[in-house]
Amino acid sequence: MNAIPYLDLSRARRRIADRLAPRWQAILDANAFVLGPEVEQFERAFAAFLDVPGVIGVANGTDALVVALRALGLAPGDEVIVPAFSFFATAEAVVLAGGTPVFADVLPETLNLDPADAARRVTARTVGVIGVHLYGRPFDAGALGELCRARGLWLVEDAAQAHGARYRGRRVGTLGELAAWSFYPTKNLGAFGDAGALSGRDPELLARARRIANHGQDGRYHHVAIGTNSRLDALQAAVLDLRLATLDADNAARRALARIYAEGLAGVGDVRLPVDHPGDECVVHQMTILTARRDELMAFLRQRGVGSSVHYPSPLHRQPAIEAIRGGAAPEPMRVAEQVAREVLCLPMFAELELTEAEAVVAAVRDFWTT
Ligand SMILES: Cc1ncc(COP(=O)(O)O)c(C=O)c1O
């Protein structure tokens, strides 16, 4: 059997290489590297795709979160509820913006923020919630939105892993006050370097975010706020604009692959798969399975030439940097997040993966339990 990569970015790059070359050459010829027409074109295209009034290109997804929190007026001492299971940036951004992350557990079915546990974590200092559409699966924006409305909190979406996903028919990135996007190369909509964006529905909030991302300027060399330097570069915007045109088709290809995995792995060993709400469209950023024999399975697959990866081996509340912020106090247990970190394994998943390759991965996983 040929080796099956966990991820092969070359296949995506080859698909757009011919069309990208002249656009990159035009940018180089114009010396227009930061912001400019290519960035404006992509911002318009992504806003139309999401059906929101505005998108703001920034340097990466972490900055998108930080800028969102600053635009919402996060102040020192403010608490923000975040899921205990996500990529580190979700919690890191809260600290970078001057606030305190407060962790809530995730649901065993979706691996996304548990609205009931989030509600239990609200204190007089809580100002907002960051939900993460983890692995491309929309979080329960209905329940979290209700909690936020009832308690006077804002809701920020960390949409870094969910480009094109839909919650009850609506695109994610349109469900909270602001949404943060990462276009890191491995994402469903990936650049060829670091890139990110914010989206939102409130033009005033978007204008504030745009100012913060560009040195607090409201006009050339007129600074009305302390901002930062976080701008999208034109070379990346051209890549994103080209790849956006096929994002829905690419996500459909991922879903077709996910069906092969789901059907082939049903009832195999102790394998469990996260559950999709029938009204939602997951974009399968990662093909995740859960098994108590995760490490053994990973080693077995490696021997068979099948790539896999653990996203993520530790929940956020147990990361050393977070423990340091807590000053050594023991973290509250987060039962589900801790179990997911022990059991989660991500199998090969990208739009260009062949159906036969997914079938071969399924066969290898089945062999692990039968040989
Ligand atoms: C859930 C989540 N949030 C935030 C980020 C941060 O994005 P970036 O790497 O572009 O800073 C990422 C991706 O890396 C992510 O997966």
Question: In whole angstroms, what is the distance from residue 168 CA to residue 69 CA?
Answer: 26
Q: Tokens at residue 115, please?
A: 């609205």
Ligand 1 centroid to 192 CA: how many Å?
Answer: 15
Model pLDDT, residue 326? 84
C-beta of residue 272 within 8 angstroms of C-beta of residue 290: yes
Predicted pLDDT at 2: 80
Helix axes 355-370, 294-303, angle to 10 degrees: 120
Burial class (CB in 10 A: 0-12, 13-18, 19+), 166: middle
Task: Write down the CATH number for the domain with range 9-244.
Answer: 3.40.640.10
**Using CA positions, which residue lies closest to atom 8 of ligand 1?**
61
Report the C-alpha gap between 268 and 200 in whole angstroms: 42
| pLDDT for the residue 1 | 64
Question: Which CATH architecture best describes the domain 247-370?
Answer: Alpha-Beta Complex (3.90)
pLDDT at 330: 81
Amino acid letter, residue 181: W
Report how far residue 276's alpha carbon sits from residue 279's, in angstroms, rounded to the nearest whole number. 8
- Span from the CA of 90 to the centroid of ligand 1 (angstroms): 7
- Say if residue 36 is exposed, middle or buried (CB neighbours under 10 Å; 0-12, 13-18, 19+): middle
Please give the distance, rounded to the nearest whole angstrom, from the Cα atom of residue 183 to the centre of ligand 1: 8
**Ligand 1 mean position, distance from CA 66 (Å):** 12
Q: Which atom of ligand 1 is nearest to the CA of 195?
A: 10
- CA 257, CA 261: separation in Å to the nearest integer? 6
In this structure, how many other beta carbons lie within 10 angstroms of the beta carbon of residue 340? 22
Span from the CA of 62 to the centroid of ligand 1 (angstroms): 6
Atom of ligand 1 nearest to the CA of 90: 3
User: Do residues 118 and 150 touch, judged by C-beta distance below 8 A?
Assistant: no
Cα separation, 190 vs 34, in Å, equals 18
- E strand map for 241-321: 287-290
Question: Which portions of the chain are predicted below pLDDT 70?
Answer: 1
Q: Which of 158, 163, 182 to mutate to test the pocket of ligand 1 (most atoms within 8 A of CB)?
A: 182
Query: What pLDDT score was predicted for residue 309?
Result: 98
Per-domain residue ranges of the chain: 9-244, 247-370
pLDDT value, residue 104: 98
Output the ligand 1 site: residues, CB below 6 A: 60-62, 86-87, 89-90, 132, 158, 160-161, 182, 184, 194, 196
CA of 64 to the centre of ligand 1 (A): 9
